[in-house]
Amino acid sequence: MSQPLRILIVDDSALMRRMIRAMLDRDPDLTVVGEAADGREAIARAAELRPDLITLDVRMPVMDGVETTRQIMAYQPTPILVLTASLSRYDIDITFQMLGAGALDVMEKPQLSDGAALERARIALVRKIKLLARVKVVTHLRGRRKQNVELSMVNGELPNKQATATSPSLGGTSTTDHSPFTIQHSPFPVVVIGASTGGPGVVRQILAGLPRGYGAAVVVVQHIAQGFSAGMVEWMAGSSALPIMLADAGAAIRPGQVIVAPDRVDLLLDDKGRVKLSALPLLLQRPAIDITMQSVAEAYGPLATGVLLTGMGRDGALGMRSIRRAGGYTIAQDEASCTIFGMPKAAIDLGAAHVVLPPDKIIEALIARVDTPRRGIT
C-alpha cells in the first residue's frame, strides 16, 4: 500500500479504544487518525478526518450505533465495521439494524484474554479492516429523509405521502435468450441464496418480499462472523411471512420455509431433501456458497434456482454454474445495487447467470418462477 489506511475508532470505553488502537498501530499499513466516544462525536470526526474506515460500537451515549450509521452513510459515506462486545438478543438486533443502514460487516470485540487469543483477534481485525477499507460505499439517503421528516414535525409540518408505484413487469439485463420457466410439478423446487459483505440487508429484503406459502424451499448461505448467525435469523424473521430457522443436521427442508446455514459449517442437501452439515475444511470460506449450490444442483437439477448477491471474492460462481448446467435457473444481483460486485461479477464472467437483476426484480423473478399454492403453508 502506498499510503496507510486511515482509521477512526468509535467506542464509549476509553479502555477499548486504547486496546483497538494498540492492535492497529502494530500494522504499518494502518494508522489511527482519531477517536470518538459517542455517536454525535463520531459524525463530526468522520466529516473532519474523512477516514478510510470507521470501527463503530453498538451501544453508546448521546446517539447509538444505528442512528450514527444512518447519519454517516447519509452525509459522509464511509466503510463501517461494527464491533460489538455482546451477543445478546438486544445487541444483535441493533447490530443488524446497523448493517441494514449501510455498515459493511460485524465482528465481536477483542477480549482481554490470553496472549495467543488476543493475537488471533488482532490478525482477524486487521485483515477485515484491510478488506473493507477499500470498498466504495454509496450514500444512503434514508438518514437524510429521516432527519428531514423530524425537522418538518418540529416545525409543525407533515411530510407529503408519496404515491405507491405499481410494480413494473419482470425485466433486467439478460445474459441469455432463455426466460424463467414456472415449476409446477413435484418434488418441490429449491432456491439457494448466497451472499457475503453487504448481504444481510438484501437477503432480508428478498425474504420479506416472498409470500406466505411460497412454493419452494429456500436455503440461505450468508457469510457472517462466528456467533452471529442465530441473531441474524431472528432479525430476518421479524420482517418475513415465511418461517426462518437455522439449519439442523438431518432436518428435512419444506416448501414455504427458509433455512439458514449456521456459521463455520457447510450446508449440503441430499436427494431426499435432508440437511447435512459439514465442518471439513474444503474451502477457505465456510459456510461455502459453492458447496451448497453444487449439492442442490446434484439433488434437484432443473428444480434448483441459484441467487448470488453482493460480496467479495468468487464464492458461489462455480455453484451457480453447476445449477445452470443441471438445468436450473440462476440470478445474479446487478452492480448498481451491490455493496461489492465481486461474487455476482465472477458468476456473470463465468457465464453462470441467466439474468442480472436488482433486489426488487429478484423478488419478482422468484415469485414468477415458482407456482405457489393459494393456501399458505403453516
CB atoms within 10 A of CB 302: 14
The letter for the amino acid at 30 is L
Residues 6+ apart with CB under 8 A from 26: 122
CB 137 within 8 A of CB 78: yes
Q: How many CA atoms lie within 13 A of 18 on its CB side?
A: 4
Residue that the C-alpha cell 457472517 belongs to: 224
Q: Considering the candidates 11, 52, 266, 315, report the single residue annotated as catalytic.
A: 315
The letter for the amino acid at 34 is G
For residue 13, what is the DSSP state? -
CB atoms within 10 A of CB 90: 11
Q: Considering the candidates 105, 223, 290, 354, report the single residue annotated as catalytic.
A: 223
CA 360 to CA 171: how far, in whole Å? 10
Q: Which of these, 285, 309, 319, lies nearest to 362 by C-alpha position? A: 309
CA 56 to CA 196: how far, in whole Å? 20
Q: Considering the candidates 57, 196, 263, 266, report the single residue annotated as catalytic.
A: 196
Instruction: At 185, give phi and psi (nearest 5°).
Output: -120, 165
CA 78 to CA 83: how far, in whole Å? 15
Q: Please confirm, yes or no, whether 315 is among the known catalytic residues.
A: yes
C-alpha cell at 312: 467479495
Q: Please confirm, yes or no, whether 223 is among the known catalytic residues.
A: yes
Q: Please confirm, yes or no, whether 140 is among the known catalytic residues.
A: no
Q: How many CA atoms lie within 13 A of 5 on its CB side?
A: 25
Write the DSSP assignment of 243-312 as a string of letters: -EEE--TTPBP-TT-EEEPPTTSEEEE-TTSBEEEE----SSSSS-HHHHHHHHHHHHGGGEEEEE-S-S
Q: How far apart are the first and last CA of the chain?
A: 54
Strands 266-269, 275-278: pairing is: antiparallel
Give the active site residues. 196, 223, 315
